[in-house]
């Protein structure tokens, strides 16, 4: 008996834990959702130790060691062996914040090689770089490649981040050229109004991303 106790004590010392061999333990591996509004997250439970049959119960009644198609949130579980020993835990899934956009803050944009002053600001999600940069399209065409942007016309505005998360909605474009008054009366529209102020002479640079570092105030649905 003394020899058995000595071996057990030696096992505890070498393992660096205070647990006896066979004690039930659970480790959760988490895959966070790729986008704020997507349900592509997952949780995998690795179970060791315990005695007899192992049962798993999640808060919603699922009894699997692997869960997928999960969105942001906290998912709790209980793992129990046949002797009544149990381990309770939780897995918190959290993506980056949602893409957000606001109008009214001035931002430099390159459109077909021309430096344009716009009033659009983007934040959230996973930017391409720092300062924050995002891919912007009008009617599925990258904004810097467009040469036919017209005033008082409706376009589908698409914002995409480095994770492929996207925000899409229609906007009305108000185009201002040269010395036209930037404070001219806004067009009346039930849609968001996006103002683009073009110079008379284009520059030679081109850029496919919108750069912004201001604070966004409007969140998508």
Domains contained in the chain, CATH given: 19-93 (2.60.40.1080), 100-211 (no CATH)
Residues 194 and 171: beta-carbon distance below 8 Å: yes
Under the phi-then-psi rule, with left for phi > 0, alpha for psi from -120 to 50, and beta for the rest, what region is 4? alpha
Q: Band the pLDDT of 111: cuts 50, 70, 90.
A: confident
Residue 59 Cα to chain centre, angstroms: 25
Give which of 100, 108, 112 is closest to 196, Cα–Cα.
108
- Rounded to 5 degrees, what are φ and ψ at 150? -110, 150
Record the pTM. 0.60
Cis peptide before 131 (omega within 30 of 0): yes
Per-residue pLDDT tens over the stretch 134-179:
888 888 888 877 778 888 889 998 989 988 898 888 988 888 877 6
Give the residue-averaged pLDDT of 90-112: 85
Q: Which residues of 148-172 are buried (b: 16+ CB within 10 A; e: fewer)?
A: ebeeeeebebbbbbebebbbeeebb
Q: What is the mean pLDDT of the segment spanning 172-188?
A: 65
At residue 12, the pLDDT reads 31
Residue that the structure tokens 């008054």 belong to: 181
Contacts of 207 (CB under 8 A, 6+ apart): 109, 110, 144
Q: Give the per-residue pLDDT at 85.
A: 93
pLDDT at 71: 95
Question: Residue 5 in 3-state DSSP?
Answer: helix
């Amino acid at each position: 008996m003394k020899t058995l106790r000595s071996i057990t004590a030696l096992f505890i010392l070498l393992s660096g834990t205070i647990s006896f061999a066979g004690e039930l333990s659970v480790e959760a591996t988490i895959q966070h959702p790729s986008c704020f509004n997507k349900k592509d997250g997952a949780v995998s439970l690795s179970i060791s130790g315990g005695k007899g049959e192992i049962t798993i119960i999640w808060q919603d009644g699922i009894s699997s060691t692997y869960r997928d198609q999960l969105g942001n949130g906290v998912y709790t579980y209980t793992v129990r062996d046949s002797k009544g020993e149990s381990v309770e835990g939780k897995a918190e899934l959290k993506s980056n914040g949602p893409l957000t956009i606001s109008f009214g803050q001035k931002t430099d944009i390159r459109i077909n090689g021309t430096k344009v002053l716009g009033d659009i600001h983007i934040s959230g999600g996973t930017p391409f770089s720092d300062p924050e940069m995002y891919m912007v399209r009008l009617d599925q065409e990258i904004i810097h490649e467009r040469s036919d942007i017209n005033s008082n016309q409706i376009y589908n505005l698409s914002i995409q981040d480095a994770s492929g998360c996207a925000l899409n909605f229609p906007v009305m474009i108000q185009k201002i050229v040269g010395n036209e008054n930037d404070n001219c009366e806004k067009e009346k529209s039930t849609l968001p109004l996006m103002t683009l102020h073009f110079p008379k002479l284009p520059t030679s640079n081109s850029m496919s991303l919108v750069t912004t570092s201001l604070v966004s105030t409007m969140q998508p649905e």
